[in-house]
Structure 1
Amino acid sequence: MKKTIKLITAAVIVLCISAFTLTKTTLSEGYKIGDVAEDFSLKNVDGKMVSLSDYKNAKGFIVTFTCNTCPYAIAYEDRIIALDKKYASKGYPVIAIMPNNVSVKPDDNLDAMKQRSKEKGFTFPYLIDKEQKVYPKFGATKTPHMFILQKTKKGNVVKYIGAIDDNYKDAASVTTKYVEKAVDALLQGKDIEQTETKAIGCSIKV
């Protein structure tokens, strides 16, 4: 009996350690505030390859991981378009990336992306992370998931991670526009008050 109890206790300890390790690893994945984001080269809906380095005059970027099929992503489309219209001319263009596995979500394939971009009149590149190598580096887990990068001598530094605003259900009921406040602060040379928020959306399909 004592031997059985010891074995059970040992098993529980191992499980707890494994859970802690997994949690720690999960939390450490992806960029953190202050990290320099690597450049990438992904195919746009127009067939051209797009990299951050293509934007010679940009001051930074509003990177959003989004897709065609997630209800949250669809709810935020107009707000993402508005962000690009407001900030692209000020040096912070939107770069949209579709991270889902299209075998799992066929309606997120490149042809569907082309159609969606045309229907909505996207004013920004809509790129496909076909090999799913870019979104894990960012640590994106949702669609949409926002990352604001600031171009510096060190490279593109991550300055904000999280949600677009505080109300995914209704744009008219938003009280805090996280992304806008962050970009405005950067444009004014100020510190961002809230650098991280919880992204609300659908899980990225792998």
Structure 2
Amino acid sequence: LASALTGALIAVSLLLLLAGPRGGAFTLILAGIALSALAGALTQLVLNLSPNPYATADIVFWLMGSLADRSFTHVWLALPLTVLGWMLLAGLGRGLDALTLGEDAAAALGIRLGRLRLALVIGIAASVGAGVAVAGAIGFVGLIVPHLLRPLVGARPARLLPASALGGAALLLAADIGVRLVLPDRDLKLGVVTALIGAPLFIRLIYRTRAEAGA
């Protein structure tokens, strides 16, 4: 767990270093893609050099993501960084609302974009990194839930942050219950289920966005 949290902090530091203090959203996206590719390559290298099949199985299971065999001990280990991330994100609502108007408009409204970007990246990395360190890689929750809830909160990031936190927790809990009920004897991994649910929804979202843009 400590190694995973350390890795998350290193990844954030590299992301900020690559993007630079004045890097925009596009630069952050490119830096994130580059770091994701590097992390994937390093993961494959570890799998390739794994000393025994048991270690390989542990890595593969962690990559699939699961809440099985997790207890409050893991919650207490991840809680400090998670709370730190929540505290950083909770104070960014006004800046994120202004940012929906564009970076120039947000800057004209007095938003310090560099400070906002730094707090946003660190807050996300702390909260998400702690969760991934405990439960493994459970994908699509952070991609799908905000898009589903955005129309319900008036498309305002300040309102979307707490709504997405509750909605993501609800989706994860529902998926975990489904995993335990559908195939209780096969140890179906939670990350597999969320990917099977999230990928079609994300594809549908892409097509809907294209249709609205064409209209």
TM-score (norm 1): 0.26
- Which structure has the larger Rg over C-alpha atoms? 1
The structure with the greater share of residues assigned to strand is 1
The structure with the greater share of residues assigned to helix is 2
